[in-house]
Structures are given as C-alpha cells and as structure tokens.
Amino acid sequence: MHTFMHGTAEWDVSRPQRPSRVGGVTMAGFRVHDLDALRMVPHPAVTLLLEFGAGIPVLDTATGERQRGCLVAGPGLGSGGAVRVHGENVECVQVRLSPVIARAVLGVPPAELDGAVVPLDALWGREASRIRERLGEASSWQARFALTDELLTRRYAAGAAVDPEVSRAWQRIIAGHGMLRIDELADDVGWSRKRLWSRFRSQLGLPPKRAARLIRFDHAAHRLVAGEGPARVAADTGYADQSHLHRDVVAFTGATPAKVAGEAFLAVDDIAWPGH
C-alpha cells in the first residue's frame, strides 16, 4: 500500500505483486475517501473500473450523462477535458487493457465503445455483479488482484483475437511513441493504407492516425509531469514546436501544459503503474 497526496486529498494505492497472466493487462487498486472532481486525462488504453466499496464513483461525461458503478471506457476517454469522476469512500480496481486484447476480454470490439463510457453489466450481465461481490468479500488487495486476473485470463482465452497485422501495427506505434508515419506502418504490415485504417479502426476502436496522436500525447504529458520543460518535450516527442504541443495538450485535456503537469490522474501513475 502506498499513499498519494494531491492537495488535501489522500489516496491509498495498491499494486499487484506479480504481473497479469495476460500480456497487455495492468491494474492498480485505489481507496479514496474524498474524490473531488478528478479530471480524466485521455489514455491509450481501454479502462475497466471495478468498484466494490461502500461509496460509488460517479462519472460525469462530456454530454452531461452520469454513470455510476463498474464501467468500461474506450481509448481516449476524456478528450477535451470535460469528463470528471467524483465520490466519497471510493474503492476500486482499475484495469488498463491494451486495445489489442480488449475485444477478447470484453466480448465486443473497442470500436463499439467509440470513446464512450458503458456500464459493465451492459457487456457482462450478471458476471459484472458477481465480480463486484467477490471483490468486496476479498480479504486483501492481492486477493482482489488475483480474482480480477483470473476473470480476465478466462475471458481472454475464450475471446477472439485481433488480426496479427493489427497487433503488429499497434505495437509499432507504441514502440515509436506515436512518431511513425501511417504509410510506413502500412508498408511494414503489407497492407494498403485503406485496409489498415479499416481493420485497425474496427478492431481497436480508433484509426491509426488518431492512435498515434494519442500515444504521442500520452508520452509527452508524462514527461511534463516529470518536470521537463514544454520546449524540450515538444522537440523530443515529434511536435513541430512548443505551440504545436500546447494546442494538442489543450485539445486532449482542456488545460495548458503547465496545468496538465499537476493533474492527479497523471501524477499518480508513477505509484500505480511504475515503468508506464
């Protein structure tokens, strides 16, 4: 258990002692007594929120809708900075799923989420209620992580895999921190640009160019959180200049690079997901 302080809010953060049996799955546990309007910063993963405590997190979306309880969100949730989550006595396991494995685990392609937030029971039915109950009954965070990993491993084994070419393209974009030309990517997997766009979008939930932009932003944002200056970050992460970085950060978060550097959603990553 680790403690993360942000302003006056205190978060208890737990991590699994061993990695998931499924590549592309990472998770962390959170206990927050007073979660006050946390801005959701877009991330290049499918987010699975499994809450089980006395308090229920509430997520307010950009369209004015409100979602409660266990949720699934597609890659890039929070673009524009209008998505907030809040609640009291929140306890949850947060899972980040690589879009490459999300279809198998969730039972639907991430494209059907389309960047939106979906109640987990809409996808899993009664299984969502059962995992919530079991997490609440577990005696420790490590037991909760083991239960979650058992569920994800079983669902992944029974699910449908994405095309190898799509998986390779995603891994190439990740390895290049989003600084890879789509034409080069299509040549690498042996597909036309049109076919890559279509299959990538339908299987992972966003087109290759959008994926590359999101991954580049995520890499740049974490460097800002680490204390690097915007000019250096822009130069090293493929932006034309500092103004280009500024525009991209504002488009994704609704905030300036200076403000994003202090966002709790990003700052907690070094504790919850070290080596991200």
User: For residue 231, what is the domain's CATH number?
Assistant: 1.10.10.60
Whether residue 96 lies inside any domain: the answer is yes
Residue 55: which domain range? 2-160
Write out pLDDT tens, residues 30-44.
998 888 778 889 999
Domain boundary among 113, 132, 160: 160
Whether the model pTM is above 0.85: yes
- Would 273 be classed as within a structural domain? no
pLDDT score recorded for residue 115: 65
Side chain identity at 167, as an amino acid letter? S
Q: Which of 160, 188, 215 is the last residue of a domain?
A: 160
H-assigned helices in 176-273: 182-189, 193-204, 208-225, 230-236, 242-253, 257-260, 264-267, 269-272
Whether residues 10 and 117 share a domain: the answer is yes
- The residue from 160, 194, 213 where one domain ends is 160
Residues 146 and 197 in one domain: no
Query: Distance between CA atoms of 187 and 193, rounded to whole angstroms?
Result: 8
- Using pLDDT thresholds of 50, 70 and 90, give the confidence band for residue 62: confident
Residue 42 is classified by DSSP as P
pLDDT at 114 over 70: no
- The answer to the question of residue 67 being in a domain is yes
* Angle at which helices 208-225 and 182-189 cross, to 10°: 120
Structurally, the chain folds into a number of domains equal to: 2
pLDDT digits (tens, 9 = 90+) for 170-224: 999 999 999 988 889 999 999 999 999 999 999 998 999 999 999 999 999 999 9
For residue 272, being part of any structural domain is answered with: no
Residue with tokens 């002692």: 17
CATH number of the domain that 140 lies in? 2.60.120.10
